[in-house]
Amino acid sequence: MSDAKLRVLVVDDEPDITSIIQMGLERKGFSVSVYNSPTAALQECMPGAYDIALLDVRMPGMNGFELYQELQKKDARVKPCFMSAFDISSEELDTLFPSKERPFIRKPFVMPELVKKLGEEASRQES
C-alpha cells in the first residue's frame, strides 16, 4: 500500500456506529466519509473519491449488496468491505464474489481488527 491515506466510504443506518468508525479510522490516518442513508451516499459518491466502501449489509431501502452494485456503476475501482451483526448466507456473498475472497467483517468488531481488514482489502486492490 502506498503512503497515501486510504479513502473510506462508510455507510450504516445507525449514526452511533458511523461516528465511532469515523473517529477510530481517522485516528489511524484514514480519510473517512460517512453516510447513514444508502441513497444519500450513492447520490454524493463521485468517481475516484474512495478506495474502499465499508457497507452495512442490512439497511432500510437498499441493502449493502445493492448499494455496492450501484456504486460499481459510478466507480468500478472502489472495493467493498461488508459488515453485519447478522449471519450472511454464503449464497449472497457467492453471487457477488465467486472467489474465496470474502470482503466481510462481523459486528461488533474492535478498531484494530477493522484497520487490518481494510488494509487487506486495499492490498487486494493494488495487486
Looking up cell 475501482 gives: 77
Residue 2's pLDDT is 46
Please give the residue range of the domain that contains residue 41.
7-126
Residues whose CB is less than 8 angstroms from the CB of residue 14 and which lie 6 or more positions away in sequence, other chains included:
36, 56
Are 118 and 92 in contact by the 8 Å Cβ rule? The answer is no
Cell of 45: 459518491
Q: Does 22 reside within a domain?
A: yes
Q: Counting beta carbons within 10 angstroms of the beta carbon of residue 57, is it exposed (0 to 12), middle (13 to 18) or buried (19 or more)? A: buried
Other beta carbons within 10 Å of 76? 8
CATH of the domain at 114: 3.40.50.2300
The tens-digit pLDDT sequence of the chain (127 residues) is 445 689 999 999 999 999 999 999 999 999 999 999 999 999 999 999 999 999 999 999 999 999 999 999 999 999 999 999 887 766 766 776 666 667 889 999 999 999 999 998 888 755 4
pTM of the model: 0.89
Q: Does 2 reside within a domain?
A: no
Q: Does 32 reside within a domain?
A: yes
Report how many domains make up the chain. 1
Alpha-carbon distance of 11 to 112, in angstroms, equals 19
Alpha-carbon distance of 127 to 28, in angstroms, equals 23
